[in-house]
Amino acid sequence: MNAVATLEDRAIAAIDPSGLGWPPTLAIEIALHEQPVKEICTAYGIDREEWSRISAHPAFRKELEVAVNMLKTEGMSFKIKARLQSEHLLGESWRLIHHDDTPANVKADLIKFTVKAAGLDASKDQGHAVGGGGSAFQINIQLG
């Protein structure tokens, strides 16, 4: 990255939960087996000690397992490419949401999208999309 980070950008990055402690595409690249793990780690600037820490982490191991299974069932499809992009874009979304110059409506849209993508919106609980886009079905039974 050639841009100089401001103090605000560095402070935001320090608490950014989109970071995993390893690059978000690392597990998928390893699952693809297109290069040896050593070359992939070198490209990411990960040394042997850091790789030992990452590869032993239960969350990374699960992420790698998911990536391997996804590649078995889906191959290198558009969906996997979109997932790789979305992992990178999550960090950009976090930065924009917390930047003072981002318009409030953009922040709101990014927050709503993040909540929806995480499955935390009410649409699943209510059986319809947020905003009333679904139809309601009701049965009334009157006795007497």
pLDDT at position 122 is 74
Query: pTM for this structure?
Result: 0.49
Rounded distance between C-alpha atoms, residue 29 and residue 40, angstroms: 7
pLDDT value of position 123: 62
Position 77 scores a pLDDT of 64
d(CA 105, CA 112): 10
Predicted pLDDT at 57: 92
pLDDT at 3: 47
pLDDT at 38: 95
The series of mean pLDDT values per 10 residues for the chain, 144 residues long, is: 49 55 86 90 93 93 89 70 78 89 91 85 57 61 70
The rounded distance, in Å, linking the Cα atoms of 35 and 135 is: 50
Question: Exposed (0-12), middle (13-18) or buried (19+): which is 2, by Cβ within 10 Å?
Answer: exposed
CA dist 75 and 77 (Å) reads 6
Closest CA to 34 of 83, 96, 73, 76: 76
**Per-residue pLDDT at 103:** 92
User: Does residue 127 contact residue 134 with C-beta atoms inside 8 Å?
Assistant: yes
Give residue 58's pLDDT.
Answer: 92
Say if residue 30 is exposed, middle or buried (CB neighbours under 10 Å; 0-12, 13-18, 19+).
Answer: buried
